[in-house]
Structure 1
């Protein structure tokens, strides 16, 4: 999981124009400045790295890098984790 998180962290930091060491994996995407355009580009990077097709909504349904990586790892391992974090908190 740390390897995937590290790679996605670098990709997201690049899209945001910051150093990856400045990006906390628990910071919320919207607080980092991820808007719809960056979210779309990041979703494409996720697909490139994992071969998992996610839409922009998934980027915001799993609002931190840690939560998104947990979702992606479950998908890669064939587990069903389709309930977004945002809905679990309700």
Structure 2
């Protein structure tokens, strides 16, 4: 089964809430797209796990700094959608 998204697919806030809730073991209804990840206890270890789950779905690597530069679901979703529209080079593709 192919879990990757195409470049044309949008990464929704709901998708990120689902992944964050699974990684952090938080009820998804308790996650707001405008609250900082740090408010949910997302530290560097959880951040790595969160980003890897997203990478596995979108099929490309994400610079972990993007998570900290865009510290809410809403901001990170916009960042990821911009990233998805950018050209992909071979080093960014996850196997």
TM-score range, shorter chain: 0.7 to 0.9
Q: Which has the higher helix share?
A: 1
> Pick from 61, 84, 89: which aligns with 1:76?
84
Instruction: Note the residue ranges of structure 1 that are not aligned, 5 or more in a row.
Output: 80-90
Give the match for residue 84 of structure 1. Answer: none
Which structure ranks higher in relative contact order (CA pairs < 8 Å, sequence separation ≥ 6)?
Answer: 2
RMSD of the alignment, in Å? 1.7
Instruction: Note the residue ranges of structure 2 that are not aligned, 5 or more in a row.
Output: 1-9, 88-95
Runs ≥4 residues deviating over 3 A: none
Bigger radius of gyration, 1 or 2? 2
Tell me the TM-score normalised to structure 2 length.
0.73
